[in-house]
Amino acid sequence: MDTLDSRLLSTTDCFGRRFREAGSYTYGLSATPQSCSPLQQDQFEIEVTRQESPAGAGRQHDVTVTFEGGRFVADPPQLRVSQGDVILWNAPEPSTPAFAVHGEGDRYFSNASMSDECLYSHAFGVAGEYVWKDANGGGLTGMVIVKDLDLSDPKNCERWTASLEEGSVVVVEGDRAEPPEVEILTGQTVFWAVSKASGITVTDERLAD
């Protein structure tokens, strides 16, 4: 069973956000999609400096999430980036519980409620048809068809190995996803690039209801 749900990120998921506005951001990491967990979370910081990158030219900064002593830890815990840069969160260790990123204060951002200029990626591990929707009640929906190749044919083996480096992009704007349907091979990654939306998720419809 492959879990497609942008609300909680596991090893095969990434959440990214472009930071357009300069200033200080704080965020926490939690094991639930809600940010109002009664459990005390560690806070991590992002300092975005004025140095406007042209649209589409920001640098990428990776934040590694681990779980140590019963708490989520972001590495690096403090990050200094330039306006227009992208920060990408991922947990490389399979033992790390699924987590959510929650920006705090006025500058709220979260993978559990994606709005402007953010992205969610998922590498699909199990073949099947994944109808996805916005678990936060929006009308957004789409489908990912994941197929296995018969690797007994050596040519298919080469094709599959090469395909793992190729990603598919679904652009989300409002309640529209383009393309609405994507067909990939097992192991390939789909990126949902959220241009503008009002707090959406990308969630397998079987998990959304």
Partner 1 sequence: MPDITAAIDEAGANVVVPRAIASLALPPQSGSGTLGPFGASWSATGMLSGGMVDLIPPPPDVIRLTGLRLDYKLGLTLSVDLSFLNFCLPQVCVNIPFIGRVCTPRVCITFPTISIPVSFSSFVNFDADFRLSVHLTGSTWFIDAMVVGVPLLQLSPAVAALLSAIGLAAGLALVGIPFIGPLLAGVVIAITSGIGLAGVLGLLGPLISPFVSGLTFNVAQVNKTFEVIPAALPDPAVDIVIDNIAAMLDGSAGEDELVVNVDISPPP
First to last CA, the chain: 17
Over the window 62 to 101, marking each residue x when it contacts partner 1 by CB under 8 A and - when it does not, the resulting string is x-x---------------------x-x-x-x-x-------
Q: Does 2 bind partner 1 (CB under 8 A)?
A: yes
Of 18 and 133, the one with the shorter C-beta distance to partner 1 is 18
Of 32 and 53, the one with the shorter C-beta distance to partner 1 is 53
Over the window 8 to 47, marking each residue x when it contacts partner 1 by CB under 8 A and - when it does not, the resulting string is ---xx-x-x-x-----------------------------
Report in angstroms how near the CB of residue 59 gets to partner 1 at its nearest. 8
Distance CA 9, CA 199 (A): 16
Interacting residue with partner 1 among 104, 115, 191, 199 (CB under 8 A): 191
- Contact present, 122 and 13 (Cβ < 8 Å): yes
| b (16+ CB within 10 A) / e for 38-66 | eeebeebebebeeeebeeeebeebebebb
- Contact present, 53 and 59 (Cβ < 8 Å): yes
- DSSP string covering 136-170: TS-S-EEEEEEE---TTSHHHHHHHHHHTT-EEEE
Report in angstroms how near the CB of residue 40 gets to partner 1 at its nearest. 28
Q: Could you tell me whether strands 78-82 and 43-49 are parallel, antiparallel, or unpaired per DSSP bridges?
A: parallel
Over the window 127 to 146, marking each residue x when it contacts partner 1 by CB under 8 A and - when it does not, the resulting string is x-------------------
Q: Does 195 bind partner 1 (CB under 8 A)?
A: yes
Which positions lie near partner 1, rule CB under 8 A? 1-2, 11-12, 14, 16, 18, 53, 55-58, 60, 62, 64, 86, 88, 90, 92, 94, 117, 119, 121, 123, 125-127, 148-152, 160, 164-169, 171, 185-189, 191, 193, 195
